[in-house]
Structure 1
Amino acid sequence: MFKRTMLVAVLAAMVSVCVGVSGQEPVEGQEPVENATETAKVDPVHFKAAMGLLEAMNTETTLAASIDQMLDIQVKQQPMLAPFKEVMRKFFKKHMSWDVLKDDLAKIYMEEFTTAELDELAAFYRTPTGKKMAEKLPILTQKQAMLGASRVQGNMRELQEMLIEEQAKQTAPQDPMVP
């Protein structure tokens, strides 16, 4: 029973990590991302520019490859997930595929860039250097994540000690005479 509960917890944690922003508060001054297809008015020229950038960046292929790569990494790191790999792949393809996300991704870019900026970025991503950047970006992102994880893991004992110390402070009896 404990093993099953732990597995469900690991799966839930993995899903929340994979989606990244779920449950997070928006950055100060930033509106939460809503489904672009539900947005009442979208400037079609701006939307077309955002879609042009996403296409120039080869986002559809990159997104599909990222799902597969993420699942492979998760199973390698946590072998107990192996029997669930295809279920997770099916779930992510249903909820994280290009067809599902493209309008929302376009909206995200529209919120951050003007039409002219989107056109400039798309022009860059159509150059040999831009194509290389689009190709290498997932690898760079993965390496950055691995670097961060490695630094945290390498200093986990320090974090645990800090957490224990803080927990002791928070649970220590308070002297009513001390402000």
Structure 2
Amino acid sequence: MNLRPLFLILLALSLSVSASAQTVTASAPAVPKASSASIAPSQRQAADVLIGSIYTAASFNQLIDQFLDAQLKTHQEIKPYEPEMRAFLTKYMGFEVIRPALAEAYAQKFTEAELRELTKFYQSPVGKKMAALLPEMMQTGGEIGQRLVKEHLPELQEAIAAKTSGTK
């Protein structure tokens, strides 16, 4: 079996999960990156509380399941490996595995006061709704992106063909 599709799927999944985790920061202005050493323990704790307010293990792992299910529909050749893929993804990309690194990333981008303000939002009724709908909204966004790329793929193919024919 050609394992290239499997590796591409795992790479896409890691990017997808990373993108969903960064939804909160997507429109924020650039902030100088703090070094890990300069982050106070209370700031790390505030970031961890925020992560716990945004995600639950079930909702975070739902992102993985949705992505993997979509890939299995597209790449039938990997179907026999579904149990191994799910076990691998749960082991290395499950919420409890990723949570400390996510907290660190948020602590590097936000001040402790900002983290506490974000936590207040995610603990509010609308924030809880946002967190609950995040996996569904990420899936919807992915589907929209896939549809748009598919609709305009001939344009990319033409551009690649033009460049390829021009370099021969």
Q: TM-score, length-normalised on structure 2?
A: 0.83
Q: Does 1:54 align with 2:47?
A: no
Please give the residue correspondences for 1:22-171 in structure 2 after superposition, counting only pairs within 5 Å: 42-171=39-168
Structure 2 residue 27 is matched with structure 1 residue 15: no
Of Structure 1 and Structure 2, which has the larger fraction of its residues in helix? 2
Name the CA distance, whole Å, in 1 between partners of 2:53 and 2:118.
9
Structure 2 unpaired stretches of 5+: 17-29
Percentage of matched positions with identical amino acids: 31
Q: Deviations over 1:37-75 (max 9, x none)?
A: xx5564110011001111111243222111122111111
Which residue matches 2:20? none
Higher RCO (C-alpha 8 Å, min separation 6): 2
Q: Which amino acid aligns with 1:102?
A: R
RMSD: 2.1
Q: Report how many residues are paired.
A: 154
Distance across 1 between alignment mates of 2:113 and 2:39:
16
**Which runs of 5 or more structure 1 residues have no equivalent in the other structure?**
22-27, 172-179
- The 1:20–1:30 alpha-carbon spacing in structure 2 relative to 1, beyond 3 Å, is farther
Shift of residue 30, structure 1, vs aligned partner: 7.2
**What is the distance in 2 between the residues matched to 1:100 and 1:42?**
20
Alpha carbons of structure 1 residues 114 and 29: separation in structure 2 relative to 1, 3 Å: closer
Q: Any idea what the Cα deviations from partners look like across 1:15-51, whole Å, max 9, x if unmatched? A: 1111118xxxxxx9976xx9xxxx5564110011001
- Matched letter for residue 6 of structure 2: L
How high is the TM-score relative to the length of structure 1?
A: 0.78
